[in-house]
Amino acid sequence: MKKYMNEELIKIMISFLLFLVSLFFDNQVKILFLVLSYILVSYEMYIEAFKSIREHEFFNEVTLMILATLGAFYIGKYEEAIMVMLLYQLGEYLSDVAVKKSKNSISELMDLRVDTVHLLKNKKSVKVKMKEVKEGDIFQVLPGERVALDGVIIDGVSLVDTSSITGEAIPKKVRVGDMIISGFVNKDSVLTVRSTCTYQTTTTSKILNLIENAEDKKSTTEKFITKFSKVYTPVVVSLALLITIVPTLFGKELEEYLYKGLVFLVTSCPCALVLSVPLGYFCGMGVASHNGAIIKGSYLIDKLCDVDYLLLDKTGTITKGVFEVRKVVAFDRKEEELCRIVASAEEYSIHPIAVAIKEKNKLELKKVENYKELEGLGISCTIDKKEVFIGNKKLLNEHNITYNEIEEVGTVVYVAINHTFTGYIVISDKIKEFHKSMNPLEKVIKKEIVILSGDNKKTTKEVATAIGISSYYGELLPQDKVSKVLEYKEKGNVMFIGDGINDAPVIKISDIGVSMGNFGSDAAIEASDIVLMNDNVNTIGKIIQISRETKKRVKQSIIFALSIKFLIMILSLFGIASIWTAVFADVGVTLISIFYVLTIMWKKY
């Protein structure tokens, strides 16, 4: 692509130099340089025109440009003919540069996902590009890494964060024989996995293909311009012929009215619309990708301008799915001493709740004896010759320990020492840092922001209150979420943002479905219209602003182009406009329109 861009620019520059050289000569030498300049800058357009004619497409902006410039040559307006072609090609070049920049933004964004794998070769781990991994290859996933490819675990036991797939905040233990999905995050131990897919079948490749081949997903404005051009071009060619031929039937000079017809023809060329409208939308998509969101088709730019309701999943979307200690309560000792006992007991546990407690309390640990991890209950051990139980209320019931049931938002860890209820610790999911305020979204969503969660109502309420959202629903099954979305769709345009497989049906039925691309499930990404590669919900605020700016500038460029063109076309009928005026009305207006829509890329949002 870079080579192509350089060749195009060199061709335009050489053609322009030949045009400048011609100005220093007269007669035949001047005409020779002008003809060479014209051939160099226009031969590809002739090839394109012949291909169009072969496909029975006789009227488009290319054939119109050729007719206009050939007519200009016929009446001796060589400089004007060449300038029309030069400026048109310059506009095409600038358009290509902008599209290339937008595509690069999208490609760079996709690079935020996993692109390297620890491949096992001859029992040695080698870091290779994901493109090199074939189905059946064996690779390792280190602690803290995101799983790059779907596969089956052949060695290792670990906890994995599945919140992006299942919507569950609590990680699950995986072992040999279990399937592991791309998007899972390995928490604590090395896993060896046999791949069941390749780089070509990953979501990254699919999304890029969706963007670059979204011909059936054009905006309504683009579709209108395409239809408009197909009708408009043959009409103006016919009018130009009438302007030229009809007066000559009444004895008028052919050259005078041929000139008027050419002015009309050059002015009427729809280049400004054909180039600037799709370019504007593609620039909007490129700016969106640079700001962290992939939009799967320009038609969504129009939809994004009118979002009435934003519905949000909670776990993995607003929250991290990572636990933190919220509260420590001790009845018969200091809180620090209770934390020391709990941290000591949890030292050998890899459960995420245990990890949260240990991270919270960087204290000198006590000696632990008789350690037992009781699945689904908690742990028991001996510390300072005292029997310690740490876990849920089922653990205390199991050992007939009397306690007061604690009503707190989050997970309550009960602590009993020597069969006496001694205190408790409250653990809760962390809200993502950039979600602590929904102000950026509230400014652009027309009516309401709502949380839809499968978590309990108390936890959902707490998260909603923490981020300043007044509307929320908890304890919803996937089918309940679908019902809620359908209910809101009856009242206006609905956008839903989610990250797990359980969110895929809701994403699909929404007017605009949004998924988390960095840690979201492939099912959700496939179902969605927009993918947030930075997993920041507030990015949607920027994307809506970008969409509104894009639509506004595209509409303004259309009004500007048509206004100038119709004015000059009317003036040409009265012989007031010259062919140089027509050059401005065509390629000048085209360049101005292109530069104007390009400013979408330069504005800060």
Catalytic positions are 313
Answer whether 462's CB lies under 8 Å from 409's CB.
Answer: yes
Return phi, psi of residue 267, to 5°.
-60, -40
Q: Residue 449's closest CA among 305, 308, 259?
A: 308
In the numeric block, which tokens belong to residue 72?
Answer: 């200009």
N-to-C CA span, the chain: 29
E strand or H helix at 380: strand 378-383
Q: Is the Cα dihedral 208, 486, 169, 461 positive or negative? A: positive
Answer whether 556's CB lies under 8 Å from 135's CB.
Answer: no
Please return the burial class of 369, using the count of CB atoms within 10 Å of its CB with bins 0-12, 13-18 and 19+: exposed
Rounded to an integer, what distance in angstroms lies between the CA atom of residue 329 and that of residue 340?
Answer: 13
Rounded to an integer, what distance in angstroms lies between the CA atom of residue 132 and that of residue 116?
Answer: 9
Answer whether 240's CB lies under 8 Å from 35's CB.
Answer: no
361 sits in the region (left: phi over 0; alpha: psi -120 to 50; else beta) called beta
Q: Is the Cα dihedral 548, 550, 551, 556 positive or negative? A: positive
E strand or H helix at 459: helix 457-467
Q: Which residues contact 175 (CB under 8 A, 6 or more apart)?
A: 153, 156, 157
CA distances from 597 to 97, 277, 593, 600 (A): 13, 8, 6, 6
E strand or H helix at 121: strand 116-121
Answer whether 73's CB lies under 8 Å from 81's CB.
Answer: yes
Could you identify the residue written with the tokens 């999911």?
429
Rounded to an integer, what distance in angstroms lies between the CA atom of residue 301 and that of residue 279?
Answer: 13
The residues facing 449 across adjacent strands are 310
Could you identify the residue written with the tokens 């309390």?
361
Torsion from C-alpha of 582, 71, 18, 4, nearest 10 degrees: 80
Rounded to an integer, what distance in angstroms lies between the CA atom of residue 492 and that of residue 495?
Answer: 10
Report DSSP state, residue 199: G
Rounded to an integer, what distance in angstroms lies between the CA atom of residue 239 and that of residue 236?
Answer: 5
E strand or H helix at 514: strand 512-516
Rounded to an integer, what distance in angstroms lies between the CA atom of residue 469 and that of residue 66?
Answer: 60
Answer whether 200's CB lies under 8 Å from 352's CB.
Answer: no
